[in-house]
Amino acid sequence: MHAYIAAMVKLETPLAFSKMHGAGNDFVVIDSRGASGAVVTPALARAIGARHHGVGFDQLAELRDSETADLELDFWNSDGSRAGACGNATRCVAAQVMAQTGRDRLTLRTARGLLHAMRHGAQVWVNMGPPFLDWQDVPLARAVDLLHLPLPGDPVAIGMGNPHCIHFVPDAEQAAVATRGAEVEQDPLFPEGTNVEFASLIAPDHLRLRVWERGTGITLACGSGACATTVAAHQRGLTGRRVVIEADGGTLEVDWRTDGVWLTGPVAHVFDGVFTPEFLAGAE
């Protein structure tokens, strides 16, 4: 067991958390700022992520202290693996911290790098950084044309701090997200696995998107996936650089600017809770 969790169990101190979602993309948020180190381990992430025995989430976000930003964010998938980027969770955390502090701008250090968040009226936008458009940075296993991958469906590969494989299909509603998503996630072309998107064109500034997320499965929305899909659609000549994304759980908006890919959409703080010492003791 992680030393810090063991200490909490010994002291019979529960672990506080928040449940949030962005367009149905749901998260557990744990604030470890002020602690001696990170709290979350792969075993704890799996235990919390179990929807029948824990809380359930698409991703878990842990807030930690940072010497180079307002805060640092670690992301976990429900299978206990690490996620390099999570756009909707970043938006949720930024909105929560802004509400707590009254600030309109934040910097967040993630595995993706330093991200900037800002409030415009009721919306919180996050700059997810420039897309990775080189095969080694996505990453892929070998040099190929990123706009036309040698895979069924002629998909596009884009990196957003995590890999994405975007399929443009006539009707996203009819896409075999579960079967095809699971297959492509583990394709040898993606040595670290990949998120898999299925998008159909509604208008030159409007896409329908369904997502299979690496380490999680089908989710109702994916922020980094919406960003990657917008970049891919623009590169394919399907859309402009600012696009409305209709995901299963709600509407996101993406704006690919010169300084990076900006993302916004709805944020919901659902409830707060605590994990009991008994639950934490079982997460070994």
Indicate which residues carry an active-site annotation. 86, 222
**Tokens representing residue 155 in the block:** 């998909």
Using the Cα atoms of residue 259, residue 265, residue 270 and residue 275 in order, give the sign of their dihedral.
negative
Sequence-ordered list of residues with C-beta below 8 angstroms from that of 130, at least 6 positions apart, any chain: 259, 260, 261
Residue among 131, 157, 130 at smallest CA distance from 146? 157
CA-to-CA distance for 98 and 101, rounded, in angstroms?
5
Longest dimension (CA), the chain: 59
**Tokens representing residue 47 in the block:** 């235990």
CA-to-CA distance for 50 and 224, rounded, in angstroms?
23
CA-to-CA distance for 152 and 175, rounded, in angstroms?
13
Q: Which residue type, as a one-letter code, is found at position 108?
A: L
With contact defined as beta carbons under 8 Å apart, do 60 and 28 qualify? yes
Q: Which residue type, as a one-letter code, is found at position 31?
A: D
Report cis status (omega within 30 of 0) of the bond before 139.
yes
